[in-house]
Amino acid sequence: MRFDIFTLLPETITPYLNSSILKRAAERGLVSFHVHNIRDWTTDKHHTTDDLPYGGGGGMVMKPEPVFAAVEAVLGAPPCCPVILLTPQGRVFTQQVARELSRQPRLALIAARYEGIDERVRQHLVSDEISIGDYVLTGGELPALVVVDAVTRLLPGVLGDPEATGKDSHAEHLLEYPHYTRPAVFRGWEVPEVLRSGNHAEIERWRREQALLRTLHRRPDLLSQAELSEEDRAFLHAHGWAKTKT
Ligand code: 9D3
């Protein structure tokens, strides 16, 4: 899979792509990352990328010409792949959206700066708009990296174990059970006996119950989407699950 990332701050993007799992995925040829500085497509002496808003008001607006020029130079006109604008007004990014995007052979991402981007970019260049959640950031660079990261780890061969991505708690709509490693006792705090028992059926049951309890207490909204057995449901009801509450 190929990513083209368009930004005014490429230096915020490249270090993360050159780290750990994403770097290894690129070295192995499973994915390629191409970061483009929108400023490289300005044509005026001062390399202007923003301007005052028509109609007045505060803040600056990203000019359309350099964005169109950059995207069309790299992707052609019309663009050869989906063009995603990261924006607080987009559909909210979830694991389901990550899985959907991971089926594409190529994706372009536009990270905006300033108070916004000229509306004609959305209307005539962008095919999809994504937000990563309801909080205010200073730009689209971190959201672009969030999308790249979540999508790349789903690509075949990127993670060691192909089981790992399917068993993700968010894929299952349950929070994870608690994890422990050695030592068995740290500062007097013991690893639960059941995990050291060697009884794999008991361990599986304990982990399932812990995942259910955590989800019930912290994210009960997830339970409506989770695949629950009759035993799971009985366990949850015994711990105060009122199916109506979300
Ligand atoms: C003054 C109104 N602001 C909207 C709440 C304008 C504004 C704030 C922040 C416009 C852009 C931004 C920068 N944020 C993003 O580009 C962004 C973002 C975010 O802030 N939160 C969650 N997802 C995303 S995706 C892109």
Q: Flag whether pLDDT at 48 surpasses 70.
A: yes
- Which amino acid, 94? T
Q: Which positions ≥6 away from 94 have C-beta within 8 Å?
A: none
pTM of the model: 0.96
Ligand 1 nearest-atom number relative to CA 93: 23
- Which amino acid, 233? R
pLDDT tens, residue by residue, 210-241? 999 999 999 999 999 999 999 999 999 999 99
**pLDDT at residue number 244:** 63
User: Measured in angstroms, how far is the CA atom of residue 112 from the centroid of ligand 1?
Assistant: 9
User: Measured in angstroms, how far is the CA atom of residue 139 from the centroid of ligand 1?
Assistant: 6
User: Measured in angstroms, how far is the CA atom of residue 129 from the centroid of ligand 1?
Assistant: 12
Residue nearest atom 11 of ligand 1, based on CA coordinates: 115
User: Measured in angstroms, how far is the CA atom of residue 133 from the centroid of ligand 1?
Assistant: 10
**pLDDT at residue number 243:** 75
User: Catalytic residue positions?
Assistant: 88, 115, 153, 168
Q: Flag whether pLDDT at 245 surpasses 60.
A: no
Ligand 1 nearest-atom number relative to CA 58: 1
List, in sequence order, every beta strand (DSSP E) within the chain.
Answer: 2-7, 32-37, 50-51, 61-62, 83-92, 106-111, 116-117, 128-131, 185-186, 189-190
pLDDT tens, residue by residue, 160-179? 877 767 667 676 899 999 99
Q: 137, 141, 148: which to mutate for ligand 1, most atoms within 8 A of CB? A: 137
Helix, strand, or coil (residue 224):
helix
User: Measured in angstroms, how far is the CA atom of residue 201 from the centroid of ligand 1?
Assistant: 47
List, in sequence order, every beta strand (DSSP E) within 102-194.
Answer: 106-111, 116-117, 128-131, 185-186, 189-190
Hey, what domains does the chain have and what are their CATH numbers? 2-152 (3.40.1280.10), 169-244 (1.10.1270.20)
Q: 87, 129, 134, 138: which to mutate for ligand 1, most atoms within 8 A of CB? A: 87
Q: How would residue 62 be classed by pLDDT, with cut points 50, 70 and 90?
A: very high
Rounded to an integer, the average pLDDT of 27-37 is 98
74 touches 127 (CB < 8 A): no
> Which residues sit with their C-beta closer than 6 Å to ligand 1?
86-88, 112, 115-116, 131-133, 135-140, 143
Q: 94, 131, 136, 146: which to mutate for ligand 1, most atoms within 8 A of CB? A: 136
Ligand 1 nearest-atom number relative to CA 132: 23
- Which amino acid, 131? S
